[in-house]
Each structure stands twice: as structure tokens, then as C-alpha cells.
Amino acid sequence: MWADDLIKESKKLVRRGKKYVKTLPREYQEAIGLLAGRLIGEGVNRMYESRMPEEKAIWEIGRPMHHGDLGYVLTEDGKKRRDAFMAGVGKGLMLSDIKDRDKWVHPKKKTTKMRKKRTRR
């Protein structure tokens, strides 16, 4: 499954889960999303750790995206849409993959250069 498909499927999963938590206050929605994201991430980690070294190497070559990356995408999209559950799921996925954060490919913030203003004399 490629990154776009994974993002699309995860958003479907979030929409399905949201119908169960939409009656709860916003902070509870985020907490339940965080728990769901952590559980999903830990499941992915357990699946990876149970593989033989050769299978892990194949997995790493064929894997298009870390679940931490997916968490980043869901968190940003959840913030944009003001969707606490989606943002919580994203945060949970990122927390469960925090040890691999240097391998994530999420966009880095651009550094801005300060320019000196020229004054006319």
C-alpha cells in the first residue's frame, strides 16, 4: 500500500471511529484518538519486531511510509479541520514511532533568512 492509499484508508478509519466519539467533549475525543493511535502504532511495531531479520530488511525496502509520517499527516489535517479525534489518532501514531523520527519524511519547516533593510540616505 503506497502513501496516498494509506492516508486515504486511515482517514476512512478515522471517520468511522469519529461517529462513536462525536457526542463526547472535544478533549475526550482527542484523548480517545490518542489512545487509538497508540494502539495501532504499537500493533505495527509488534508486527515488525516479530519478523526475522531478512523479512525486516524486505519490509524496510518496500515500506513507503513510517506510521509516524502518517501520524504527522493526520495531526496536521485534524488541526486544519478542527477535528480533535483525527489529530489525536495522528499524535498517537507519532508517539508510538518516535524512536524512528529521524527516518520520517514529513516536511521540515523552512528556515527563513533575515534580510537587512536598506535605508536610503
**What is the CA 4 to chain-centroid distance, rounded?**
13
End-to-end CA distance of the chain: 62
Within-domain flag for 71: yes
The per-residue pLDDT for range 103-118, each reduced to its tens digit, is: 766 555 555 555 555 6
Within-domain flag for 59: yes
Query: How far apart, in whole angstroms, are the C-alpha atoms of residue 118 and residue 108?
Result: 30
Number of compact structural domains in the chain = 1
Quick one: average pLDDT of 13-42? 82
Q: Contact, 74 vs 90, CB < 8 A?
A: yes
Within-domain flag for 120: no
The per-residue pLDDT for range 38-95, each reduced to its tens digit, is: 888 888 788 778 888 887 777 767 666 677 888 888 888 888 888 888 888 888 988 8
Rg of the chain over Cα atoms, rounded to whole angstroms, equals: 18
For the chain, give the percent of residues with pLDDT over 70: 74
CA dihedral 104, 76, 88, 8 (to 10 degrees): -80
Quick one: average pLDDT of 5-29? 78
Within-domain flag for 30: yes
